[in-house]
Amino acid sequence: MARIGCGRSSISLDNTNGKLRTLIRGASLTMHRIIFSLGPFTVYAYGAMLAAAFLAGTALACSRAQARGIARDRIVDLVFVIMISSIIGARSLFVLLNWSYYRYAWFDIFKLWEGGLVFYGGFIAAAFAAWAYLRSKRLAVG
């Protein structure tokens, strides 16, 4: 069990039985890793929260773009570029970091359903792709 303290509040993290339990000033919160499963289809909490954040960010970007006179289609295209490039970047960095395995298992590189993405690889690729897209469409970067 890990314990983090800051001032009068403290957070304890306990990862047992595949559940993440958080204690904040005596209140107990439990996060389940799997939200639900239907046959071979499983919805994980991390993926669901990531998708929800992506959709919320897209909605916010569309509303702000509309207020600034930027076409909504440009934002939707940008979101698509970011989504694809982040997956490619995250997987590419994972493969690079685990090259000793993937050197002999080329077909496993494309097995995304087996896991293996690196967040900062996706972030770097998405940031570069977004910058390139915005420059190509002559939109302000920043």
Residue 78 CB burial class (10 angstroms; 0-12, 13-18, ≥19) = buried
The Cα 52–Cα 36 span in angstroms is 16
> What is the per-residue pLDDT across 25-55, written as a single tens digit (0 to 9) for each?
556 667 778 888 998 888 888 889 989 999 9
Quote the percentage of the chain above a pLDDT of 70.
78
Please give the C-alpha separations between residue 43 and each of 4, 17, 19, in angstroms, as whole numbers.
Answer: 29, 18, 15
Give the residue, 92 or 15, on which the prediction is more confident. Answer: 92
Specify the pTM.
Answer: 0.71
pLDDT given at position 5 = 46
